[in-house]
């Protein structure tokens, strides 16, 4: 579209008026015919000026068709068959239509103006067929087509530039949003890492502290009746405390950005816990073990928390663990013979299990029937 439409229409009106006056000068029209010509021209100017105020695109398009009809009526009332001053009216209308309308409607309005402008040349060739009249027909036809092509091409380039500018602005906006999202992801990643470390500290330290407390309680129990047994339990308690300190150091190393040590074998975890707590634990593993760090780490802490929960809160003496490895997921069940819970209150440990399972697109359920059962599955991300 034209940026300064008001200036454009004023300039256009002045040019059309000068061309019309020049045509009248050579026409030398008198009285009634002069009044008709002036009336048609005034209607043309009014229609052209109304375009400045038209908002409806369809009516705006129709006004160009009306321009071509009014110019044609002017030509019909002039004495000369070919009036080059009036022919310029068509060219101005063609250029304006091609520039201000969209490409489809611009081609239609330009074609209508071209057809009307060529009627007089068709008559000329028909009534006076010679090289001169045929040359004029071809010459002005080529001018009309060339003007329309150039105007439409210019509009196409302008439209494409506007699209590119819009796309560039959208890309800048998207880049800004992406930067904001990146910062948000980084912030959430830090929070998630802090939560993970908190879970690791709770799972590892809580697990070992439970075993340590039970060992010390048993050592106290045997202190008067069986000194050697008490000494054995105290030595085991010292080892448990050292293991706890080692695991805390591993967490600190993680905070410093160093790589984690190799994963502990689940069987070793179960055996050590059974040894420290005197609980009887049965572990059954079915299927081929998935070599996946995230799954292995999650299972380790889930079993750790499950066993700790069974002994600490359920006072269980027997724990049954089943792991079923499938193609891309692992099903797990941790069942004990503890006292269970009439009302299940999910503490930090059980919430930690839920978070680990959810992070690996799995699901977990807690049941309190004839003891306590943790059952669920996790899968590769």
Strands annotated E in the chain = 280-286, 318-325, 329-336, 363-367, 372-379
Q: Is the pLDDT of residue 206 over 50?
A: yes
Report d(CA 304, CA 276) in Å as an integer: 13
Tell me the pLDDT tens digit for each residue of 93-142: 888 887 788 878 888 888 888 888 888 888 777 777 888 778 877 887 88
Q: Considering only 33-37, 183-187, 221-225, which range has the smallest mean pLDDT?
A: 183-187
129, 157, 185 — which closes off a domain? Answer: 129
The structural domain count of the chain equals: 2
> Is 40 in contact with 70 (CB distance < 8 Å)?
yes
CATH of the domain at 369: 3.30.565.10
Give whole-number Cα distances, 286 to 55, 70, 323, 331, 377, in Å.
Answer: 75, 92, 6, 10, 14
Q: Helix 31-50 and helix 5-27: axis angle, to 10°? A: 170
Q: Would residue 160 count as lying in a domain?
A: no
Tell me the pLDDT tens digit for each residue of 348-372: 778 889 988 998 889 999 998 889 9
The pLDDT value given to residue 52: 77
The pLDDT value given to residue 262: 33
Q: Would residue 257 count as lying in a domain?
A: no
Q: Would residue 286 count as lying in a domain?
A: yes
Q: Would residue 368 count as lying in a domain?
A: yes
Q: Would residue 326 count as lying in a domain?
A: yes
Q: Would residue 274 count as lying in a domain?
A: yes
Q: Is the pLDDT of residue 68 over 90?
A: no
Report d(CA 234, CA 212) in Å as an integer: 9
Q: Would residue 187 count as lying in a domain?
A: no
Q: Would residue 172 count as lying in a domain?
A: no
Give whole-number Cα distances, 298 to 245, 332, 362, in Å.
Answer: 21, 11, 11
Q: Is the pLDDT of residue 263 over 50?
A: no
Q: Is the pLDDT of residue 277 over 70?
A: yes
Report d(CA 340, CA 332) in Å as an integer: 19
The pLDDT value given to residue 259: 43
100, 129, 158 — which closes off a domain? Answer: 129
Average pLDDT (178-204) is 68
Q: Is the pLDDT of residue 258 over 50?
A: no
Q: Which residues contact 375 (CB under 8 A, 6 or more apart)?
A: 332, 333, 334, 364, 365, 367
Give the domain extent around 30. 5-129
129, 159, 183 — which closes off a domain? Answer: 129
């Amino acid at each position: 579209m034209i940026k300064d439409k008001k200036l454009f229409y004023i300039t256009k009106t002045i040019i059309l008026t000068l061309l019309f006056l020049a045509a009248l000068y050579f026409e030398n029209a008198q009285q009634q015919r002069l009044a008709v010509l002036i009336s048609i021209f005034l209607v043309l100017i009014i229609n052209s000026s109304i375009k400045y105020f038209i908002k409806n695109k369809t009516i705006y398009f129709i006004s160009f068709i009306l321009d071509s009809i009014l110019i044609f009526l002017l030509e019909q009332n002039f004495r000369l068959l070919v009036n080059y001053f009036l022919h310029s009216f068509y060219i101005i209308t063609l250029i304006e239509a091609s520039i201000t309308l969209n490409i489809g409607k611009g081609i239609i309005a330009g074609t209508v103006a071209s057809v009307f402008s060529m009627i007089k040349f068709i008559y000329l060739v028909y009534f006076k067929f010679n090289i001169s009249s045929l040359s004029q027909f071809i010459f002005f036809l080529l001018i009309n087509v060339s003007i329309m092509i150039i105007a439409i091409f210019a509009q196409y380039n302008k439209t494409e530039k506007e699209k590119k500018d819009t796309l560039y602005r959208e890309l800048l906006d998207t880049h800004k949003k992406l930067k904001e999202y990146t910062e948000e992801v980084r912030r959430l990643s830090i929070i998630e890492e802090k939560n993970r470390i908190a879970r690791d500290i709770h799972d590892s330290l809580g697990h070992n502290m439970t075993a340590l407390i039970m060992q010390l309680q048993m050592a106290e129990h045997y202190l008067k009746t069986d000194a050697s047994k008490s000494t054995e339990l105290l030595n085991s308690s010292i080892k448990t405390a050292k293991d706890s300190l080692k695991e805390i150091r591993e967490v600190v190393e993680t905070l410093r950005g160093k790589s984690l040590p190799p994963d502990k074998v689940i069987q070793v975890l179960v055996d050590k816990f059974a040894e420290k707590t005197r609980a009887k634990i049965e572990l059954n593993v079915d299927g081929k073990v998935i070599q996946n760090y995230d799954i292995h780490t999650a299972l380790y802490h889930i079993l750790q928390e499950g066993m700790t929960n069974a002994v600490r809160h359920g006072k269980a003496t027997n724990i049954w663990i089943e792991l079923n490895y499938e193609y891309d997921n692992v099903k797990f069940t941790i069942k004990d013979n503890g006292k269970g819970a009439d009302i299940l209150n999910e503490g930090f440990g059980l919430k930690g299990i839920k978070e680990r399972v959810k992070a690996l697109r799995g699901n977990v359920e807690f049941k309190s029937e004839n003891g306590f059962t943790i059952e669920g599955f996790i899968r590769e991300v």
